[in-house]
Amino acid sequence: MAQSKNQRSENFLGTERLNNSNGRNRATSLRVTLIPGDGVGPEVTSAAVRVLEAAGVHVDWDVQEAGAEALKKRGTAIPESLLNSLRRTRLALKGPLETQVGQGYRSINVYLRKTFNLYANLRPIRSFEGVQSPFRDVDLVVIRESTEDLYAGIEHQVTPGVVESVKVITARASTRIARFAFDYARRHGRKSVTAIHKANIMKLSDGLFLKCARRVANDYADVRYDEQIVDAACMRLVTNPRAFDVLLLENLYGDIVSDLCAGLVGGLGMVPGANYGQKGAIFEAVHGTAPDIAGKNVANPVAAILSGAMLADYIGYQDAASRIRQAVGEVLRAGHVLTPDLGGSATTTQMTDAILSAIGSIEARV
């Protein structure tokens, strides 16, 4: 990390967080890697940067290329300069990166999570007033293990026409993510953790995941623990999402269930995310590169902006983070300046400007 150990304190996640008394007294800006990414990435990450700056979050951005653009210009999707930057800062705000389907280079997202041991992927799923969605008052958190499972990338052809993909589940990673979920639940006053699995079929791998979760649950008498089979959980999520609080999932189920949950609160443009490790974090929206709308200035910037708010929280600017969330809430509630995915006709820039002006009004009121 670029900062010395004594500048850090244990935070609610059990990971390290900068201790910065709301960022007001920082003499120098903190260096953070900024990965604009592919597709809509540059549009939404620049929106997030503008909002962070307007909210008073002082960051010295180290802008780094990665993904399809980097591959085109520099012959590699993961340039060494990006890895060096992350080794120094251990913090990033990241746009989505293109991953080719069924061919090409390995997912860079997966590579970064594994390389920097960012084992906990956290995605808060929350309804906003003013956003058309199947439910109101959804408020749950998806916590996804993100270093193993089928994402270990171990695949081989046994014989032509027959391939095997290996699902790796370890007691160490399962226990670590379960502890993260229970710590998070306890520190945020969440009432329950639901482990989601398919241990009726994958008795060994998902069975081990559950065994570890149960063992950890015993240490948290104040947090209710239950389990649901993934297919039944999906049905319940789309009929009664309020029945859930913190969801604890392996990597693949976590990926799928996150997108399902995004659909409960207005779509992929609404859900932020963070990848936490013991010594760093990368903040990024749940959505991908959205190639169908890339370059058109119509992407919903909210997911990226709220990911920026999670970064602000992490580096000690809690007041700024809550101003950003409040401003996003006000713009959505007013409903005048919304991007097309939310039923409006505003551009990404116009919606970002509306959020900036809401921040200005909030600051004028305090």
- Which residue, 188, 194, 181, is CA-closest to 257? 194
CB of residue 291 vs ligand ATP: minimum separation in angstroms?
6
Nearer to ligand ATP, 118 or 271 (CB): 271
Q: How far is the CB of 120 from ligand ATP (least distance, A)?
A: 21
Is the CB of 122 or the CB of 304 nearer to ligand ATP? Answer: 304
Cβ closer to ligand ATP: 169 or 342?
342
| DSSP-assigned letters across all residues of 259-306 | HHHHHHTT-GGG---EEE-SS-EEE--SS---TTTTTTT-S--HHHHH
Q: Which is nearer to ligand ATP, 190 or 287 (CB)?
A: 287
Q: Which residues of 336-348 are buried (b: 16+ CB within 10 A; e: fewer)?
A: ebbbebbebebbb
Distance, CA of 236 to CA of 230 (rounded, Å) = 10
Of 138 and 290, CB closest to ligand ATP: 290
Minimal distance in Å, beta carbon 136 to ligand ATP? 21
Shortest distance, position 28 Cβ to ligand ATP, whole Å: 33
- CB nearer to ligand ATP: pick between 89 and 99: 99
- Separation CA 34–CA 308 (nearest Å): 11
* CB 325, min distance to ligand ATP, A: 17
Q: What are phi and psi of 71, to 5 degrees?
A: -60, -45
Q: List CB contacts of 204: < 8 A, sequence separation 6 or more.
A: none
Q: CA 149 to CA 157: how far, in whole Å? A: 19
Residue type (1 letter), 122: L
**Contact criterion met (CB below 8 Å) for 149 and 249:** no
- Whichever of 59 and 271 has its CB closer to ligand ATP, that residue is 271
**62 vs 341, which CB is nearer to ligand ATP?**
341
**Alpha-helical segments (H) within 120-218:** 171-187, 205-217
Distances (CA, A) of 93 to 96, 126, 280, 349: 10, 21, 12, 19
Report residue 86 CA to chain centroid gap.
17
Backbone φ and ψ of 143, nearest 5°:
-120, 115
Distance of closest approach, residue 288 Cβ to ligand ATP, in angstroms? 2
The least distance separating ligand ATP from the CB of residue 24, rounded to whole angstroms, comes to: 31
Dihedral angle over CA of 47, 49, 53, 56, nearest 10: 110
Nearest residue (CB) to ligand ATP, 193 versus 271: 271
Beta bridge partners of 117: none
Q: Which C-beta is closer to ligand ATP: that of 212 or that of 262? A: 262
In angstroms, give the least distance from the CB of 138 to ligand ATP. 18
- Give min distance, CB of 197 to ligand ATP, in A: 25
Closest residue to ligand ATP, judged by C-beta, is 288
Write out the H or E segment, with its range, that includes residue 164.
strand 162-165
Question: Rg of the Cα trace of the chain?
Answer: 20
Give the shortest CB-287-to-ligand ATP separation in angstroms. 3
Residues binding ligand ATP (CB under 6 A)? 40, 44, 96, 98, 268-269, 287-293, 299-300, 303, 341
The amino acid occupying position 130 is G
Q: Which amino acid is at 142?
A: V
